[in-house]
Amino acid sequence: MIYMDNAATTKVHPAVVNAMIPYMSNRYSNPSGIYTFSKNVKRDIEDARAVVAAAINALPEEIYFTSGGTESDNWALKMSCLERGRGHIITTQMEHHAILKSCEQLQSQGIAVTKLKPDKDGIVTAKSVEKAIRPDTVLVSIMAANNEIGTLQPVKDIGAITREYGVLFHTDAVQAFTNIDIDVKAMNINMLSASGHKISGPKGVGFLYVEKDKLRKPFINGGGQEMGLRAGTENVAGIIGLAKATKIAVDNMKVRTEYERKMRDYMTDRVLREIKGVHFNGHSQKRLPGNMNFSFEYVDGATLILMLDRQGICASAGSACSSVSSEPSHVLKSIGLSDELAYGSVRFTINEKITKREIDYVIECLKQNVAKLRSMNTEWNNV
């Protein structure tokens, strides 16, 4: 199997598995206990919190462990509006559904929402954010890197604008975390969401960074865990795994991302040169190192993915969270693609384990499959 869907999820690193196992066996105590057995596990959680905080230049007490990026996004948006009263949110048309669906719910409760349209490369400028700010704007939520087309947003510039206007700034960094340098202080980020299973960590765990004193009311009521803001017995093994995955990803980020970028550019160049009628979606350089999104003219992307699957290749048509939808990608539509091109899109997301030989095989399969699908399309033959 050649796995090229790392934006959907990643294989858990063996060292992460080994780090988690003790907390599912002999270190099983509830961290809320007052005896030594529990206190030791509680200490391990706090050590993990410090590791995650250091990765984004935050304070440990600003990191709240959650079940993943979706919960973190919901928390950031809903509690910002609850604490600051009814008002106005600014986001983009190309956000993850965790943001867009949360905005829909908030709209039903009287919150106004502005969804900025990105340019053809998927970028939203700080100037467009500034123009959209109103006196009642309480929050700007713009993702650091898009999960489908990989485009990086000018987060630091947007953060400077929101700080100038006294507006909270949240970024969904689920795809960006440990794939690009993130400094929440230098980038003026008030809140940030991330998830463990995107960085070779376990599923079902993530975190929300909240700048000190920006949110004070609990998101989940109960026993008072996570400094009183997110109740519920901690997912200890998941938290330990997240911290271990974070450390591994941060320690080898430079070498890893340079290699991924090299392999990405190699594959992109060959696909665009050797297959006619292909569009490369997203910014050519301001993008995640391992992300490629192509639209093939006169080809159904879902059928192409199934053909690749039979050849041992895993790719996707976009976000894994919307794979059951029959609608064209809202991300691709937001950057101006027609329905036909949106339906003809395939996303390849690689990691540092990919080899040039594997990429060559994928390209040959792509060429054969695209040619076969087009040979059965009368419109392509007419063109």
Q: How far are the Cα atoms of 61, 171, 298, 367, 378 from residue 303, in angstroms, in the given order?
A: 48, 34, 12, 14, 17
Active site residues per annotation = 321
Tokens read off for 330: 């809202």
- Cα 22 to chain center, whole Å? 29
The candidate with the shortest Cα–Cα distance to 113, out of 145, 164, 78, is: 78
Is-contact 195 206, C-beta < 8 A?
Answer: yes
Burial (Cβ within 10 Å: 0-12, 13-18, ≥19) of residue 257: buried
How many Å apart are CA 180 and CA 59, to the nearest integer?
19
Which strand (E) or helix (H) includes residue 115? strand 112-116
Q: Is 327 exposed, middle or buried (0-12, 13-18, 19+ CB in 10 A)?
A: exposed
